[in-house]
Amino acid sequence: MKYDPTCKYDEEHEWIRVEGDEGVIGISDYAQDQLSDIVYVELPEVGDTFDRGDVLAVVESVKAASDVYMPVSGEVLEINEALEDSPELLNEDPYGEAWLVRIAIADPSELDDLLDAKAYKAFVESLDE
């Protein structure tokens, strides 16, 4: 299992990488592993705004469909259009090419409630016990 030390994580298995006032959001390596072969991704529209915990996207695999939640509140600035044609990127490179959206972070203090990579790793390991 891979963990990106530059990301913050929530317990729903999303990550956010902060870049200035913006955040890049994706699903964790653990999430893509649990889903198995991802075949479809439904992303929001640029300009959509979400509160923390809102459903941001839907990821469908050969096993199931799964909601992706907003780790922090914000407005969608950009979506990863490559996922529309190549959803399998989420399985191949969850922390790189397979980011879902770029957002303007509405409330940076919400980041304080997220897990760092070490804490997220411990959380994931506790799920497998």
Q: What is the mean pLDDT of each run of 10 residues along the chain (129 residues)?
A: 96 97 97 96 98 98 95 98 96 97 97 98 91
For strands 101-105 and 14-19, give the pairing. Answer: unpaired
The confidence score (pLDDT) of residue 115 equals 98
The confidence score (pLDDT) of residue 128 equals 76
The confidence score (pLDDT) of residue 123 equals 97
**Cα distance between residue 63 and residue 41, in whole Å:** 14
For strands 74-79 and 101-105, give the pairing. Answer: antiparallel
Q: How far is CA 94 from the centre of its chain?
A: 8
